[in-house]
Structure formats: structure tokens, C-alpha cells
A and B are shown apart, each in its own frame.
Chain A
Amino acid sequence: MLKQIEGSRAVAEAVALCRPEVICAYPITPQTHIVENLGQLVKTGELTDCEFINVESEFAALSVAIGASATGARAYTATASQGLLFMAEAVYNASGLGLPIVMTIGNRAIGAPINIWNDQQDSMSMRDAGWIQLYAETNQEAVDLHIQAVRLAEELSVPVMVCVDGFILTHAYERVDLPSQEQVDAFVPAYEPRQILDPAEPVTIGAMVGPEAFTEVRYLAHYRQMQALWLIPELAEEFEQHFGRAAGGTPEPYHTEAAETLVVALGSVNGTIKDVVDQLIGEGLAIGCVSITSFRPFPARKLRETIGHARRVVVIEKSLAVGIGGIVSTDVRMALAGAGIPVFTVVAGLGGRAITQASLHSTLMKAHHDALQRLTFLDLRHDVIHREIERLETQRRSGPVAENILRELGSVADHIG
């Protein structure tokens, strides 16, 4: 059914259609509306046979989900930013134990300095935690990926994060086609656990493992993610048959075939990138783009097939590996190893800085003319950093950096772009 609703509401309805049995809820901006809406769906009786548990922290949220999942329940939670960091130990445990929990991340920056706005540093910090990570470009895709995530998680016994850009998607009203309960029931069968805590047949889950077997357990976690690389396109195909629209975790190409410059990105920024690609093609440039939906497992081979003919690749990423540069671009470079294709990193959208068509246009134009630096910070205010660097060089007690800059710029978040 076509609806004009908030992204968070759409995600909540999609999750409810998957019949979760335990939902652990702890609020944090910009994810809060998702669990609030799920709480409402449980309270009104639209979602039945589901325990909605208000917990005392994010650490508890995922720990309760782990316990629930180990008893054979379909478990769900959602978080963002510092919330994800606070549950970090449990994040590794959920995947290490092979528990197919689905968790939404309403992507948000990580402090300090504290910042409620969107970037993808939070989920990137957990990229090696053993969870599958899917990034949604639109709210329709967020809905479709959640439905596929439950299948993917349970078939492989691997937890899945569905990453949805905070505010940009979670708080956006746009049209979303929500499937019927019958459609989702036909696609998502009842959960059949590989392992279960049952007093009638007692087992241990979570044994201590020494050097004799730790590598093997870790290898099998990697093996399951490699299985996901073929299961993801299979599920996408099956999804299209069931629901009549294409959606899934494979890299999504846009005007890639004849492109000399290819842009790679994750999440909602791909929409703006596509508009800019259209403009640049109109101006005669051979340019295209690829949206990476599944970042873990990383679709290295598929990506190489899609972008391996380019003369240059530009990765637009909403996160920063301090001390080296790009996170996504490091993996893109690995996928292109030996191909001799330069990969440029453009760090953009940190802490909610708007990624505008105008800035993307000029940056991609520069890239096309081989005038872009290997690492660029989109719309970096050079005057601001130069003044702060001067303070650092001339005064020993130069004070806190964030506060120095704020004092210069005025109030928080009062600019339009």
C-alpha cells in the first residue's frame, strides 16, 4: 500500500510485518521514532505475540536481544551513534555467537564534539564486528532491506545491521509502498534456529574457546559472510518475484558502462549523486555511479566487475579514518588492486554538513580533469582551520578546539547549506 509517511514509521511498519517476537527499545536521536512507533504498534495490538521491552541502556538493549535470540525468538533493536558504541561488546557477542538479530542504525555522528546530525561514523566503527551491514538509499529501500535482512540473518545465523541515514531518511516524509502481511509472511518463514536454549534439552551457548579452536570459529564467521555474497543476490531476485520491485544488497550501477569517472557511495547521498551525474552527462562527461548497499560482506568481485573499466574512481564517504583518510575507499582500493585505477577519497557530510549538488558538481568536474587531490574534505572551511592552526602554533594554552571555532562562527547549526 502506497503511503506518504516518515521514514522511521515506514521502518517500524516493515519490522512489524516481519513478526518480531522481542523488541528491545532504548531511545537515542535520530532512531527514537522507530522504536516509539513499534511500541505503539504493540500497544494497539497491530503487532501481536511480541514482547516490547523498555531497557535501561543500549548495552542492555542488545544484551536482551541476544538472550531472546538464543531462546529461539526473532529479536530486533535499533540504535545510533554513542548508543552503538555503548553496546559495542554485545555487538561482537551477537555475531560471535551466531545470533540472527536485526538492528536498525539511524546513522549519526560520534562525539566528541557532541553532534546529533547524520554521518556514518557510527556503523563504520562496527564494520569488523561480524555483522552484515546494509545501507539504504531511500526509505523504500529501507523497508525492503529490513524484510530481506530478517531472511538473510536467519538463513545464515548472522546478525544484520540495516543502516539508514539519520534525519535525511529517518525523518523524511516520502512515498513508500508497504507490502501486505500476507506478502511478507510468504517471503519470511517462521524462524528455525540452528541453536536454542531450551530447559528440556539443555545446551551451552558461549563456551570459552582457546587457541586450539578460536581461529576456526572466526574463520567460520568469515565463511558465513562469504556465503552472504551469493545469498544476497538470490534473496533480491526472490524479493522481486514476490513484491514486484527490485531491491537488495548488490551494488547498484547507474550509467556505469561507458563511464570514465565512477563515483562510489553508501546510503542516501546516492540520490543527490545520481542527479549530479545526470547533469554532468548532460554536459558531455562520461560519468556514472555505484551505490554499495552491502558494505559487509564487501562485494569486492562484483564491484570490480562494475567499476574495473573506469579511468578513475571517486569514493564519497560520510566517515573518516583519522590518520589515513577514507574507510570505504580503502576497501574499494583493495577491490581494484592491480588494476592501476586511481581511487580518490572525498570525505563529505560529516556531522550533518549538507552535501550539495553544487559542491559535488565542482568536485567531480575536478576529478574528471585529474585535478582532485587523493584525499579531499568536501566544503572544508580553510579559513577556519588556518586560524585555529595559527592559534595552536602561537599559544601553548590555546584552549579547546571545538569551542574556539564555535566562538568564531556564532550559534550552532544556523546555516542553510
Chain B
Amino acid sequence: MFQVRIHGRGGQGVVSAAEMLSIAGFLEDRHTQAFPSFGSERMGAPVMAFCRFDDKEIRLREPVMAPDALIIQDTTLLHQVNLFEGVCDAGYVLINSTRTPSELGLDDFFASRPGIRVLTVPASQLALEHVGRPLPNAALLGGFAALTGIIRFDSVAAAIAEKFSGRIASSNVAAARAAYEIAVTATQGASAAC
């Protein structure tokens, strides 16, 4: 099983991101399960969503406590929520930011957890360029495909096209592709689970 936890704020498409990830996995004929964990139902409140991948039926209903991968949509949560709780030693962390992990003040954490592969991609900026709105979710999924290698970019693009339609779909796919390319350049995609 490969487990993903996505952190963001209400209105940033956190729940849709997990749903699209589950569709992408389904398109590769895997069992996937996505579900949200709402705080208060309002814009800006911290929101979590989860996605699990497996080759057999997923029966487990608990929140993702020990994620193989974390996607952080909003860096203002870094000092508000215990984002890194339970993350696996050989896990992945993908952060939406124009800054490096070091510039985000995360050196100490990642130095203490050397097995974790971390990457930042400017997903909000890419979404602004391609979609016209700073909604980072689809772009981050492109980055996620490159960072983890758990899912093919084509599946992510197809999932975005299933969730949205018309120009919103195509522009989000473009943002995801741009993030994917940045992430491919920055890292070598490799699949692993802990």
C-alpha cells in the first residue's frame, strides 16, 4: 500500500486533488481510495485529504497516519499544523513554494530525516500562469508523479480531464505538465513504499 496525505486550506482544491489522484490510480487499474478530513467547513480553514493505492481491495478507513508521501499545498500551515506527523523514513514531501526547503526553514527537520526526499514546486505560480487562478492542486499532482514515480503523468492528465472539462481541464493539465517537467529536472522519479 502507498499512502498519500495532502494538506491545504479550504478553497485550494485539497479534496479534489486526492480525488483526482485516486482516479489516476484507477485508470492504471489499481485499487485507490480518496477521502477528506474537514475541519470547520469554511474557506481558509486547514483541510486534509488522503489517498491510498494498492493492488488489492482497500478496506482500511482510518486517516493516513503514516504517509509515504505528503503534499503541502500551503506553506503557511508549516507552523500551524503538525504536517510531518507520521511521515515515513523513506517518504516523499512535495511542497508548493517558490522557495527551497532550506529557505522555508526546514533544514533541521530534513537533516534529522535524511531518507525523506523533498521537493518544492511553484504550483500556485504555475496555476496563475496557465489557469489564471492560484489553485495549486492539479499542478502539484504533476510534480507528485515526477517526484514519486508512483503514477504516470498521462494518468494524472486523464484524471484532471475527467474531473474538469473544457478550458479549465486543459489549462490545469498544462500547469501539471509544467510542474512535472520542473520536478523531473529536479529529481529522478523512483517508486518506493515504506
Contact = CB atoms under 8 A, between A and B. Distances in A.
Interface of A: 4, 6, 29, 116-117, 138, 167-168, 171-175, 268-272, 274-275, 354-358, 411-414, 416-417
Contacts of A417: 62-63, 65
5 contacts: A174-B22, A174-B32, A174-B58, A268-B61, A272-B59
Interface in B13-59: 15, 18-19, 22-23, 26-27, 31-41, 46, 48, 58-59
A411 B81 CA distance: 11
A274 B35 contact: no
B87 to A, nearest CB: 11
A4 B22 contact: yes
Contacts of B46: 414
Please list the 4 inter-chain residue pairs (A to B) with the smallest Cβ-Cβ separation, ordered nearest first: A271-B59, A4-B26, A172-B35, A173-B34
A142 to B, nearest CB: 14
B104 to A, nearest CB: 21
B11 interface: no
Given A4-B26, A174-B34, 10 more contacts: A174-B22, A270-B59, A271-B58, A355-B62, A356-B62, A412-B39, A412-B40, A414-B46, A416-B65, A417-B62
A173 B23 contact: yes
A193 to B, nearest CB: 39
The binding surface of chain A is classed by DSSP as: loop
Given A173-B22, A175-B26, A274 B33 contact: no
Contacts of B39: 411-414
Contact of A172 (B5, B23, B33, B40): B33
B103 interface: no
A411 B31 CA distance: 34
B85 interface: yes
A272 B63 CA distance: 11
Contacts of B63: 354, 356, 416-417
Nearest to A7: B35
B65 A173 contact: no
B38 A116 contact: yes
B154 to A, nearest CB: 16
A362 to B, nearest CB: 14
Contacts of A167: 35-38
Contact of A272 (B26, B32, B35, B60): B60
Contact of B81 (A172, A412, A414): A414
B88 to A, nearest CB: 14
B86 interface: yes
A412 B47 CA distance: 11
Nearest to A165: B61
A116 B41 contact: yes
Nearest to A357: B62
Given A4-B26, A173-B33, A416-B48, A272 B38 contact: no
B76 interface: no
Nearest to B23: A4
Contact of B19 (A173, A355, A358, A416): A173
Contacts of A6: 19
Contacts of B32: 4, 173-175
B61 A168 contact: yes
Contacts of A171: 15, 35-36
A379 to B, nearest CB: 12
Interface in B61-94: 61-63, 65, 81-82, 85-86
Contacts of B27: 4
Given A175-B31, A356-B65, A416-B85, A275 B60 contact: yes
B80 to A, nearest CB: 8
B100 to A, nearest CB: 26
Contacts of B37: 167, 413, 416
Given A172-B34, A413-B38, A272 B22 contact: no
Contacts of A272: 59-62
Report which residue of A4, A138, A357, A417 has the largest number of chain B beta carbons within 10 angstroms of its beta carbon.
A4
Contacts of A271: 58-61
Q: In the complex, which of the residues B15, B27, B34, B46 has the most CB atoms of chain A within 10 Å of its own CB atom?
A: B34
Given A4-B23, A412-B40, A174 B33 contact: yes
A107 to B, nearest CB: 13
Contacts of A117: 38
A338 B5 CA distance: 48
